[in-house]
Each structure stands twice: as C-alpha cells, then as structure tokens.
Structure 1
C-alpha cells in the first residue's frame, strides 16, 4: 500500500517535470470531430424526447399534454443550437441544415392563418397552399397527391418547393408553428396561442384536425430521422467525419475557424439579429412562434465556445474534451488566443442579459425589436457588437495560424442600406 502511494507520487512528479508537448493540428481536428459526434447525439436524444411528447399529446390531446410537447420542443432546441458552429466549415452539414432549421417560414404553406397574413405573395405562389386542408396540391406544374401526409411528402415535394426558401415544410420551426400557431402580438408580449383542440378528434377546432395530427406526427418523425442521419455521419466511418479528415489537419483547423467565424458574424450577428433590428420586425425573430429566440441565440454562443475550447458538456453531464484550437492558438499566438477568450466571455455575457430578460418575463426578444424600445434595441445592438468583435478576434488567430478561412458576410452588417431604408 505504502509503496504504491510513493510510486504514484513519484510518477506524478516525473510527469509534471516533463516539457509540455506541442499541440498537433490533427489532434485538434480529432477532438472537434468527437465533439460533433457528441453534440448531434444529444440533439438526437432530445428530439426523440420531443417525439415521445408529441405522441403523448396526439394520444390524449389536452392543454397539459400540449404544454408538455412545447416544453420538450424548447428543451430540444438547446442541444441542437450548439451544433450550429459546425455548419459553415463543413459542406455536408451546411447542405443538410436546411432540412431541420430553415427559417423564416410562410405559415400559410402548412395550415390556416389569420386574415392579417394576407391573400397572396409576389415571391411565393404557395403562400396559402395550406397542406393541412388540401388532400390534392398543385406545386408549380406538379399535381401532388397529399391524401396521406407523410415524411416523404413533406421532404420531397414541399420543403423549399419552387426554390422558395420560405416554403419551410420540415424541421424545428414547422413543428414550432404547429404547436404554438402564429404569434399575432407583433412587438407586444405573448407567444402564439394555438388551442389544443386543433388536435382533438372529438372537439376539433380549426378544421382538418385529423390531417393536422398527421402533419405534426410526420414532421416530428422526419426531424428525428434527419438527426439520426447526421449523428451517424460523425461517428467513426461516417461521411462527415471522413470528409473532415480527408482535407488534412491544416484545412481542418480552417474549417473549425470558418464555422465559428461565420456563425458569429454573418449568421447570428447579421441575419438573425441585425436584420430584425434594422427592420424592427418580429417576423425576423428566429423562434418567432414560441418566443424562444433568446435561448437559441445563447446556445449558438455556448456551442461556439465549446468548439473553440475543445470541451463540450453532454446532456448526461459527461464532458468530451481534448486538444483544442484555443490550445493551438495559445502556443502559436498567445495574445490573439487570449483576445478570443476575452471576446467570447463578453459576447456570452451580452447574450445572457438578453436571455435573462426574456426568461424572467420582463421583456421578450420580439419586444426588444420594437422601434420605440430604446432599452431593448440597445441590448440587441450590444450583443451584435460583441459578436462582431468576437469574429474579428478569431480572424486574428486565423492570420497567426496561416490557415485559409472565408467568413460568411451579411448585408445587414456590410451593406445595411440594401435591406432597410
């Protein structure tokens, strides 16, 4: 017993005296792939819990089972949003992402809408298609048999039909609309208020309750199936992992930084935040039916921090970690690495202010967008500025490491006059 203890202490001292080993880019890329695998496994697990909650709601529709399904949807968003830093650097992820997280959507494609929605759209011939009410659909020149609403119908015939991006028939936001309904409050308080009776076969409201039930079941099943595909793609031998490894360590580091920089700048700071602020338009809110946008933005940032630090905490509390791009940057350009850490901390704090305000009920995200809400506008602008500064810090690391990165832009940031008067 005593010898073992002395040996352990001595061995530890020897290890501590060894010089630190250089961070290998290949090991950083391997950690990143392991984290991607864990992130999508968690996103899948939470989507399966949502699927179970939706099944329970459809089995016994009530206000209580609808509320449980909504809670499961909100819970499922947190792990999925953390995966978004993987998007822009990995072509297979970016091509797939629209199946599960495309937005904004034209609600009239899916179901009934309020008269204030309008009767037509110059940009979308399917603006009022109403799949729920229509067993036969005309999609361009194609006559589509929609008597049975199936995952294949949604994915193959309706998702981004006619190449219109707002024809969103699948994914989290289609489910969100079906659970909450339209949010007709503008920049005032309140979410969508779809009644649970829209899914009741005995107390049906809204008409076509049997078909609405079929749509909700099909779109939820499809979400789970799509996440199963992506989770498998990051396992050993999977297509996404193999594609990442095939480009080599240096290009792999470039992919990591491309994903973080592009989500931070063009996507989150630009398309998801600055555009809505420029237009003062709650329709540009990411989770607009549920008023969950504050969480979605926050967990985007949590995911970027995890990918930078090479450390991800799973839903079960375990941690996947290893050599990180931060460690590599600290070795090659310590000042630039510290700047990223500082900027990430600042951004997380600014997004947490928005999140706390919304979670407390004091001010929801769509209320922050109101033209006359100086306080809310300032909260959003401060977070946008922090995200931009975070991206600039990442770009300093890119320059120091000498890797190739192209950060996605956004007219909202780069040419605001093109999107707002």
Structure 2
C-alpha cells in the first residue's frame, strides 16, 4: 500500500500569487469529488474480487478479496474530513462506515467471546442463517433489504451494511483479544456443496454482494453531490458566502482531528483497553485507517490528493491562501503540526507492520503502546489548535470543533 506523505510538502516554497477564498472553496469541492470518485473506483475493484470469491470460492479468492478490501480503505478514510460540517455527508456516512457493530446480527459468532450491546434484540439475529429478524422478513437479501435493517430495533450497534459488514464477512470475528492476529474466517464459509462450512454459504455470498452493491450505489450518489454543473450539494456550497464555506472546511478538519480521531477512535479504545472499540477490528487494519483519516485532514490544508492509481490532484488551498496573505507564521505552525501528526501515526503503522497492531497497543499494561498512542492524541490536539488559529486568522466566529464529549 502506497503511503501519501506530508513531509515533502513542508519544504515547498510559499505561494506568491494571490489566492482568493472562492478559489479555495472550489478547490475543496474538487478535492471531495476526486476523493469520492477514487473511493467509488476502489469499491468497484473490491466488488470484482467479491464476485470472484462467491463464484469460485477458495483460499486464494478469499485472500484476493481481503487485499481488495484493504486497498479500498485509504480513499474512503481520506474522505471523512468532508463529513463534519457538511450535513449531507454526515447524514449519509452511517450506511457506509458505522462501527462498532454487533456482528451477530449478520452471521454466526463465537458465543464464548462475543460482546454485544446490552439489551440489543438484534445482536444474535444471524440474518444469514435466518430469513426473519423480529417481524421483518429477510428471505431476499438485496441492497434495499440490508439498508432497512440498519439500526434494527433502535440500536446503533445493529449495522447491516458498509465497509465493516463486508470486513466481518471476509475476516470473521477476531478472537485473539489483545494477542497478535486478525479474524480467520475459513474460505469454506463460501464453499459449494458438501464443502460448505455451515450450510449457509450461498446466502452468505448473496449478503456479501448485496452489501457491496449498496456500498457502490452510495458512493456513486456522493460523487454526484460534488460534481460541478449540477443542481446538487456542491452548487449550494460554492454559492455560500465564502466565510461560511470556509468555516465548514475548518470545522470538518478540526472535528475529525479532535473528537472523532483523537477521541472516539483512539482515546476511547485506549482508556477502556477495548478491542470492541477498535475501528477496523476484524482485519487489524486500524493503523492504516487512522493514518488515512489524518491524511485526509492534511489534504484539505495542502490542497492535494493522490488516487489509488497514482494520479495526483492539486488545487488552490488554505496553505496557498495564508501564504499569499503573508501569514507565514501560521503556515509554518501548520506545517509543523501536520508533520508531527504524520510522524506519530507513521510509528503506529510501523508498529503494526512489525507485528504489534492497534489491539495490542491498547492492551492493559502495555506502557509502550499507551505512550505511543498518547503521543498521537497530543499531536492531534495540537493540530486542532492550529486549525482553530486558521479560523481566527480568517476572522471566523469561534470554530468550536466537535470534541465528542472528550476532555483533552
């Protein structure tokens, strides 16, 4: 997996030409369009591998599908910076990336180790083995059926769709706790005939492809919302007074940095030593998930994106704007803050690559892991302060990024 780097951009010369705020807002919209287009393309590539798995189940086709899922995550994770501040994205994203989930809603689980939300009537529904969930008939597994099952019974833990539902169907439960290892679903869960592990292989394949179909449809919808020349969300955004649009940009950057990434995705799991609160918990891909969340925040500041196929986009950026206004100190502070965040998250990635993944870092008594993740949290908090300073420099009202109720 190719890593996008912040560091080389830190030594770039400061922009000389005047940059206007409307140019920055349009650049932001172009970044969103390119990021979601890339997420859609990688989801299509994933779907192709899922079809191959269902058609010709084997250890190799399962491995290929897992590889494609891992490859699809960076583009989507970088898109999450557009979620906060843009309600059309925030209202939509739960169908694609909701977590943690009570996976017993979807498929079989190990009852000895399964932890689920107390009182959740859907936590052991096992849609794949049963054609009825409560009073709902689910004999036909389609994208629409799965969408209707999200938050079944009023529980947010009942996640039937999105990247993590597909992840679970590829890896299965991670039964290793704080020890090394991810989920280890056998390929025979998709096998045909007598090789099928539990008699539900055909239905499991239908569920997998329906979830993938819905993911693709959802991403196509969001691409449409950012396409220029249409009556869509992009048109609404660029029609706003520039300061209002810039506030949305900075609020999104600050909220993902502070409340979501530092808080919900790292601090919660670390404080509770909870593998259930690990983001990509079935695949042990959480290190990359966090890294690319941070990358997405930096992308907006630097005005650039590199697609999975290596194509690059560069647009008028916040950095360009501040430099053109002569606010070199803020540019320098931001370069330093984004660079520190990248370096600390790179250490988390390296740790995983060396065999100590996120679920091991958060284990009780792992002082080295705690120190590593505490550094990341501190860097994200400092980065958020710089983002707030950008808002002040633009004479915006108090930014107040979402802290998700966490104290830092």
Which has more radius of gyration? 1
In 2 relative to 1, CA 119–408 (structure 1 residues): closer, same or farther, beyond 3 Å? closer
Tell me, in whole angstroms, the C-alpha distance in 1 between the residues paired with 2:389 and 2:327. Answer: 9
d(CA) in 2 for partners of 1:121 and 1:390?
Answer: 33
Q: Could you list the runs of 4 or more consecutive aligned residues of structure 1 that deviate by over 6 angstroms after TM superposition?
A: none
In structure 1, the partner of 2:12 is: none
> 349, 356, 365: which one pairs with 2:358?
365
Measured in 2, the distance between the counterparts of 1:275 and 1:20 equals: 43
Further displaced range: 394-403 or 60-69: 394-403
Could you tell me how far apart the structure 2 residues matched to 1:177 and 1:280 are?
Answer: 21
CA-based RMSD: 1.6
Per the normalisation by structure 1, the TM-score is 0.90
Secondary structure in structure 1 of the residue aligned to 2:363: coil
- Is the CA contact 1:274–1:413 (under 8 Å) kept in the aligned structure 2? no
The equivalent residue for 1:374 is 367
Q: Give 1:249 deviation, angstroms.
A: 1.4
Shift in Å at residue 120 of structure 1? 7.3
Tell me, yes or no, if the aligned pair for 1:337 and 1:397 is still in contact at 8 Å. no
Could you tell me which residue of structure 2 aligns to residue 312 of structure 1? 305
Counterpart of 2:92 in structure 1 is: 96
Q: Is residue 368–residue 377 contact of structure 1 (8 Å, CA) maintained in 2?
A: yes
The answer on 1:223 being equivalent to 2:215 is yes
1:163 and 2:157 equivalent? no
DSSP 3-state at the match of 1:396: helix
Mapped contact 2:180–2:357 kept (Cα < 8 A) = yes
Residues 44-92 of structure 1 deviation map (CA, whole Å, 9 limit, x = unaligned): 0000000000000111000000000000000000111111111102111
- Structure with greater helix share of residues: 1
2:176 is aligned with 1:180: no
Q: Distance in 2 between matches of 1:337 and 1:238?
A: 35
C-alpha separation in 2, matches of 1:46 and 1:274: 30
Structure 2 residues not aligned, in runs of 5+: 1-14
Q: Unmatched 5+ residue regions in structure 1?
A: 1-18, 415-421
2:128 aligned counterpart, secondary structure: helix
Matches within 5 A, 1:169-208: 169-202=160-193, 203-208=195-200
CA contact (8 A) 1:199 1:210 kept: yes
Cα pair 1:23 1:327 within 8 Å, conserved: yes
Give the superposition deviation at 1:371: 1.2
> Structure 1 residues 60 and 386 mapped into 2: Cα distance closer, same or farther (>3 Å)?
same
**1:266: which partner in 2?**
259
1:297-308 aligned within 5 A? 297-308=290-301
Deviation digits for residues 124-145 of structure 1 (CA, Å, limit 9, x no counterpart):
121111111111221xxxx222
The residue aligned with 1:46 is 42
Alignment equivalent of 1:348, drawn from 336, 339, 342: 342
**What's the TM-score once normalised by structure 2's chain length?**
0.92
